[in-house]
Amino acid sequence: MLQQTRADRVTERWPRFLARFPDVASCASASPAEVIAEWSGLGYNRRAVHLHRAAGVVMALHSGRIPTERTDLEALPGIGPYTARAIRAFAHEAEAAVVDTNVARILARWTGRCLTARAAQDLADQSVPAGQVWSWNQTLLDLGALTCTARIPDCEHCPLADRCVWRGEGSDPARGSAGVSGGQTPFEGSDRQGRGRLVASLGVGPVADGRLAEAMGWPGDTRRARRVVETLMADGLVVSCASGYALPGWESGT
């Protein structure tokens, strides 16, 4: 859930999601529609499809237990190097350094130079103290989110200030570093917003072809609505049915 979604939004939804799907088996045995509908509102709903598929793989190949090895984790749908490292660090406390946009920003400023993704990851890997995988990674994530922020870093109260090459002086090396977010395009009026609206509507029941544009918030723009619904179908989030469109598994209605 924390992939590309703010922590404050996740903390609101996580307890409810976990109550509905308390373990891998319950997620794998549910229909894709049930998982998507429970996820709806968090954005990037394709992650729900990946989660459902990954749960099925974990049940089939790993007896319902989340694997510990990076290669096994990265073989799961929707799991890339970053998420695999995060699972290793926080779920298994196995040796791993988690580099998100906040950590990449800290490392660039600390060294005083723009870093490639590989250089940032290598530096992070070398910095994790033995036996402190969980606390070290959590500390850096919090430091980047609360102190070494993108716009107004609080260098005065940063515990790394005395060893930070940049320390708020001169051009910020983080701005040219790989993995440091430059900000998203506006959400209002975007295709992403329309996709989310349609998925939310489909969580109630199928939507007729003639209501697609209205459900997406673009009354009259049928061409755009059909273009976007095709991307949702390609992502496995929507299927066509006799009554129009539905979440996969709910073709005959909820």
Provide the CATH number for the domain around residue 111: 1.10.1670.10
Distances (CA, A) of 36 to 21, 131, 155, 201: 12, 37, 41, 12
CA distance 35 to 161: 44
> For every one of its 254 residues, what pLDDT tens digit does the chain have, with 9 covering 90 and above?
888 788 888 998 999 999 999 999 999 999 999 999 999 988 899 999 999 999 999 999 999 999 999 999 999 999 999 999 999 999 999 999 999 999 999 999 999 999 999 999 999 999 999 999 999 999 999 999 999 999 999 999 999 999 999 998 999 999 988 767 566 678 888 999 999 999 999 999 999 999 999 999 999 999 999 999 999 999 999 999 999 999 999 886 55
Same domain, 65 and 114: no
Report phi then psi at 40, rounded to 5. Answer: -50, 135
Q: Measured in whole angstroms, how far is the alpha carbon of residue 11 from the centre of its chain? A: 14
Residue 16 CB neighbour total at 10 angstroms: 10
Same domain, 151 and 210: no
Decide if 115 contacts 123 (C-beta within 8 A).
Answer: yes
Residue 24 lies in a domain: yes
Same domain, 73 and 133: no
Q: What is the CATH number of the domain that holds 72?
A: 1.10.340.30
Indicate the residue among 132, 150, 176 that finishes a domain: 176
Same domain, 118 and 149: yes
Same domain, 225 and 159: no
Decide if 238 contacts 246 (C-beta within 8 A).
Answer: yes
Residue 84 lies in a domain: no
Same domain, 48 and 74: yes
Query: pTM for this one?
Result: 0.84
Q: What domain count does the chain have?
A: 3
Same domain, 154 and 219: no
Residue 85 lies in a domain: no
Residue 210 lies in a domain: yes
Is residue 151 classed as helix, strand or coil in its secondary structure?
A: coil
**Which residues constitute the domain of residue 150?**
101-176
Residue 93 lies in a domain: no
Same domain, 209 and 144: no
Locate tokens 């790989």: which residue? 178
3-state secondary structure 209-239: HHHHHHHCCCCCCHHHHHHHHHHHHHCCCCE
CA distance 233 to 248: 9
Residue 116 lies in a domain: yes
Residue 183 lies in a domain: no
